[in-house]
Every structure is written in structure tokens, then in C-alpha cells.
Amino acid sequence: MTFESFIAKRFLPRDLGTYAGPLVSIATYSIALGVLVMVMSVCILRGFQGQIRQKVVGFGSHIVVTTYATGNAYEETPISTLRPEVSRIRNTPGVRHLSFFANKGAMIKTEDQIHGIIFKGVDSGYDSTFFASNLVEGKLFDFPVDKPSNQVIISQTVANKLHLTVGDKLRTYFWQNDNYRARAFQVSGIYSTDLSEFDEHYVVGDLRQVQNLNDWDSTQVAGYEILVDDFKHLDPIADNVIQQLGYDLTLATIVQQNPALFSWLDLLDSNIALIIAIMMLVCTVSIISALLIMIFEKTSTIGVLKALGATDRSVRKIFLLKSASIIGKGIVLGDALALLLGWIQHHYHIVHLDSASYSMDTVPIDLNPWIFIAISTATLAICLLALLLPTAYISRIEPAKTIKFD
């Protein structure tokens, strides 16, 4: 143990003085509170961003490939599933999954209600994890080998508006040129994502139904939906995918398809930065106040140490080590409280939200250990850096005066 560490350990809270002891406790709890607020804020906002992003991607995909040609609101220009681009896209680094889809506008009619929807047709290779995790009733539809499935899944919003339950018939009318075609589907499941703009309109069923309605063959689809391994690398992967496409195909990422939503999610990062800045200021002010009082109340001790040969650097190190101990206790306490509260919310969903306003019914928590590590490390580093200036006062203390005063 070094000389500085030994002296720093001797500065127990009860030995710090009349004012320093209570102020050290206040500083410890202030740092704990600051760390708690910072960690919980980041975990909640990251969880919120992740939940919204997951839901938006679940209705589509990370990347959508379609033709340059555009039809009207109810017609899509088909592309072939046998094109050489399909295998090249699947082999592109970062691409996790590729499936085919087609959309078609329609109207659901019941005895007393009419509701416009978008029928999304998916193939048997579709990644149904998202809808399976959001089912509130029933099950996902099947894909019979010999014929198109007449089963569909609808949202809880549509089910409530049209008074539908699992097993009910769904009379749907599709626009085709200047006429319409009627189809009768059966509700196999009901999902709920709390994203009103999607839940209001999407009905998901067999891709072959759309192919038959559009008079397409089994190789014709509206486009390819691509899922990537890591959302953080979406843009580089999209750049690699677009290099594999023919001249008549175009690509759009989920961010490009929903610019307002993702701009709003990015704006939340500025809220995180503001909260962290305010809490860091609280932590540094608290520990600086405690350190200054310790120095003032230990002036005579500093004089004795200097008289015994201790350098200004050694004495400053003593107080920095003591301050680091106070900061460390506050950080550990704050992290422990944040982990406990986050774990409780993650498993028991104690705090609820208005799903109509927040697109989710409970507060989401992202308990990423790197959030704890980053905030704890940054708090310790910033607080210690802020203490370098107050400790400079130690060099102005003259042993002769302090000892003579005593």
C-alpha cells in the first residue's frame, strides 16, 4: 500500500470534521442519484427506440426491393422470384433473410361496417417471429401446399371496430382495374402491436391470394423483403445490396420509408445527452463541494504532512484517492438501484403507459451492461477531472502558518 493510499484510508467519514462528514454523505447520495437517473434514462429511451424500431421493421423489413415502375394505388408491377439478383442478395454479407411479398388495397365489409385495409401477402419463407410474438388470440395462418390459404391474421384494432373474433368470416373486396373481386377469408389470429397507423390497416395472409387476384403466376411478386443481421450496419449493407440489383430494380430502407418516425427516434438521443449533461453537473458540483470542505477542515493535517516532507503532488493524490472512493461508492449504489428497478420493470411491468400515445403499454427497459459500464466510467472520469482544479489550492497551503495557527 502506498503512502497516499494509507493516509486516504485514514480519512473516515467520522474523522473528516464537523461539516465534511455530512457533506461527503450528501455527495455520495447525489452521485448515486445522478447515476441512477442517467442509467434509467438511457435504458428506458434505448428500450423505447428498440421497441418502436422492432415493430416498424416487423410490418415490413429492413430493406425492400421493388421495380422502378409504379402503378396506381391498387396495382403493383411484378418482378420475378427467379431473377439472378435473388441468390446474389442472399449471399451478401450482413443479409440474414429474404422473402417475397405483395400488397393489395381492399375493403372489409360486415353487416354494419366498412373498413379499408391493405392486404399483405407473404410467402411460406416469411419470418413470422414478429407477428407470432404479438398474437393476442388464435394462431398464425397455414400455407397449404395444394392451394392458397384462406386464413388471415388481423389486428386487435380492426377486430374491435368490426366486432370480429377468431374463426369469423372476413368478406373482403379487392379493386381490380375498374371493377372489384370478392374474397371470403377466415380469421385465424388477432395481433396487437399498438402502432395505430399499421394496426388500423394491415391484414396479413397468403401471397398466392394476391397473385391470383392480379392474374400473376407463382413466380411473380411485388418485391423482396430483406432482413439484416445488425440494424446499426443497415446503410452499408443496403449499399452492398444495391450493387447486386439490375437497372430496373430499386431499393428502400426502413428509414427511408418512414423518415418522420426515425427522425423522431433520433431526436430522443438529444434528450439523453441533455439528461446526462445535467446529472453530470450535479455529480461534479456535489463532489467538488465535498472536496473543498475536506481540504478546508484538514488544512492543519495538510500542513503537518508537508512539514514531514510530503510533496504537493502526494497530498493532492491523497484527496483525489479519497474523492475517488466517494465517487465509486456513489456509482456502485446508483448502478445497483438502477439494475434492481430495471429488472423489476423488465420482468413484472410495474409502470404502465397509454398505448394510444406511446405505442406500447409498459415502460420498456434495455438492460444492456455496456450502458452501465459507459455511464459509470464517464462519471468517474469527469468527476476526477473536475477535481484537479480544486486540489490546486493545496499547493497554496503553507505549513508554517497552519501549524502556528494550531
Domain definitions of the chain by residue range: 3-55+262-405, 69-247
Q: Compute the distance between CA of residue 66 and CA of residue 224 in angstroms, rounded to an integer.
A: 7
Residue 194 carries which DSSP code?
Answer: S
Q: Compute the distance between CA of residue 316 and CA of residue 351 in angstroms, rounded to an integer.
A: 46
Average pLDDT, the chain: 88
SS3 of 190, please?
A: strand
Q: What is the DSSP string of 248-299?
A: TEEEEEHHHHSHHHHHHHHHHHHHHHHHHHHHHHHHHHHHHHHHHHHHHHTH
Max CA separation in the chain (angstroms)? 104
Residue 143 carries which DSSP code?
Answer: -
Number of residues written out for the chain? 406
Q: Is residue 358 very low, low, confident or very high in pLDDT (cuts 50, 70, 90)?
A: confident
> Which cell numbers in the block locate residue 237?
449493407
- Rounded to 5 degrees, φ, ψ at 155 are -85, 160
* pLDDT, greater one: 219 or 400: 219
Q: Compute the distance between CA of residue 169 and CA of residue 186 in angstroms, rounded to an integer.
A: 5
Note the pLDDT tens digit of each residue in 71-115: 554 567 899 999 999 999 999 999 999 999 999 999 999 888 899
Taking alpha carbons only, the member of 391, 324, 303 closest to residue 24 is 324
Inform me whether the pLDDT recorded for 142 exceeds 70. yes
Asked which of 1-10, 298-307, 346-355 is least confident by mean pLDDT, the reply is: 1-10
3-state secondary structure 5-16: HHHHHHCCHHHC
In sequence order, which residues have a C-beta less than 8 Å from that of residue 106 and are 6 or more positions away? 116, 117, 118, 119, 172, 173, 174, 175, 203
Note the pLDDT tens digit of each residue in 289-333: 888 888 777 777 777 777 777 777 788 888 888 888 889 999 999
CA dihedral of 89, 95, 100, 104, whole degrees rounded to 10: -110
